[in-house]
Amino acid sequence: MEKFDWINSIYKYFLILDKINKQFKILIRTMEHEKIEEHFFYLSIELLRLIPFTENKKDNTIFLNLKDGVLLLKDNISYLEDSLQKILQDNSKTFIKIKKIRNKYEHEPHNVNSAFSTGHSSFSAMGFYCRNQLVSLDTMELTYIIYDLNKLFDKIEKMINKIEFENRDDLNQFNKLYIEKIKKIQIINYNKGYTRIPRRYYSYQ
């Protein structure tokens, strides 16, 4: 693998985040019960591809899985592990709920049933019965995560732009191609459409 081929790999995760944002924008605008359920399931699965983690069920602690997904590129992006760790810890209760829904949906879909859904203007919430346990998620919880992921990937994009400027002669044709693809996504622009309540005014269920 050549020196900057990790850029080709990180592009796949930019694509995942781009699709998450597009799906999330649809979610915060829909009021259809079935659509709300569908979007929450999708986001539960895709977010764990960007922040893979392991849960210690004995004490409900969670920690990053450093041998999975985007974290395999941590040697090329010095701040990647710390940044994802902060997002994980800041939203630990939400991630535990997301993983519970995802796991049940993938392995026991017949045991995951919607209990309720609400949707209006820019806010939606969904309750799921995972077997007999009620697990609820809402769009404000997801906004915190997606907003910070967008900021992280914008930081990565700026780093890639600097690499392109300073190392143009060392980039191969594929590096250059993927850099242009990353630039076209413009991931940070999604944050302009999101409103976040200050965390001190929001309590996780």
Give residue-wise pLDDT tens across range 1-17: 689 999 999 999 999 99
Domain hosting 39: range is 6-193
With bands split at pLDDT 50, 70 and 90, how would you rate the model's confidence at 124?
A: low
**Inside any domain, residue 189:** yes
Cβ atoms within 10 Å, residue 198: 6
**Inside any domain, residue 12:** yes
| Backbone φ, ψ for residue 165 (5° rounding) | -70, -40
**Inside any domain, residue 116:** yes
**Inside any domain, residue 86:** yes
Residue type, 198: P
Are the beta carbons of 114 and 121 closer than 8 angstroms?
A: no
Span 161-183, average pLDDT: 95
Pairing state of beta strands 112-120 and 61-64?
Answer: unpaired
| Location of structure tokens 């799921």 | 128
Q: What pTM was computed for the model?
A: 0.86
- Whether the per-residue pLDDT at 109 is higher than 70: the answer is no
Q: CA-based angle 54:151:5, to the nearest 5?
A: 75
What mean pLDDT, rounded, does the chain reach?
Answer: 83
Strand partners, 17: none
Structure confidence by residue, pLDDT tens digits, 54-100: 988 788 789 999 999 899 999 999 999 999 999 999 999 889 888 87
**Inside any domain, residue 41:** yes
**Inside any domain, residue 205:** no
Which pLDDT does position 198 carry in this prediction? 78
**Inside any domain, residue 199:** no
**Inside any domain, residue 63:** yes
Query: In degrees to the nearest 10, what's the CA dihedral of 125, 129, 134, 140?
Result: -20
As for how many domains the chain has, the answer is 1
- Whether the per-residue pLDDT at 205 is higher than 60: the answer is no
DSSP type of residue 63: E
